[in-house]
Homo-oligomer: A and B are copies of this chain.
């Protein structure tokens, strides 16, 4: 890859909404391109506009269909929409390294919709490293809303909360989703709950379960946001406008109370810290090398040293 990139021109094209320029910038994020810091400096004045919505849920709840329906609803409001799909099982994935626009049935030809899949694992620090910077690109490119779609299993739904202004948790009737949600800590991260496939048996039970579990904390008295629990049939676009209205209400609620800014400050702090840690890890490698680190590790394994003494040596090199 050439280092001779005309960053100001690329940023200008991305701001004008040219998909190829946006794709190129996100590829630079994924590749940890040497010019990335110049890119981020050029983007900075143009960021802060986009509303970031995390969309998470277990496999099988209809995340892709729901995301597709949400994009339609947002486009009906004439908003520019970005979609980052960080779910490795998503039908959107596969374009991560090619940087192509990829298939999302209803929106693939709409120039006001930018869709991108991201490699979520084993990629230079993963979700926590690349996604915030990709969000910055879409934000500066004039997206009014960016949907970050991630599979709600394990660590990823916790990470998406750190990235999003508003987090939507998708569920489906049956399958003991209520209990699963409680186990996964998913009740604590949702700002809006959506029971998709609401034409199936048991939808009302799932809504009731979730409402019941949410109210346990008695959020109203504590002055906390009370997450609505909505029903959709995403593939027929039923109930989707109500979900968008719930986002609006959540943003207004957060803005009134300074919560939106607090969330964004937290997000920026995490982003700064992750760059610092990544940088220091690289210095560790540069200064000491794999071989030098192995010598320290060998001393620990052999009982000639302990991890603290070894860590002191590394820190001494760094600082």
Contacts and interface: CB of A to CB of B under 8 A. Distances in A.
Interface of A: 36-37, 40-41, 43-48, 59, 132-133, 153-155, 183, 261, 264-266, 268-269, 271-273, 275-277, 279-281, 283-284, 293-294, 296-298, 300-311, 314-315, 318-319
Given A36-B308, A277-B277, 11 more contacts: A265-B294, A265-B298, A268-B296, A269-B296, A272-B296, A272-B310, A276-B284, A277-B280, A279-B311, A280-B315, A319-B319
Prevailing SS type, chain A contact patch: helix
A154 B59 CA distance: 14
A272 B297 contact: yes
Given A265-B301, A268-B297, A275 B308 contact: yes
Contact of A300 (B44, B309, B319): B44
Given A279-B311, A297-B265, A308-B40, A303 B272 contact: no
A3 to B, nearest CB: 17
A251 to B, nearest CB: 16
Contacts of A319: 283, 318-319
A307 B268 contact: yes
Contacts of A300: 44, 268, 271-272
B284 A269 contact: no
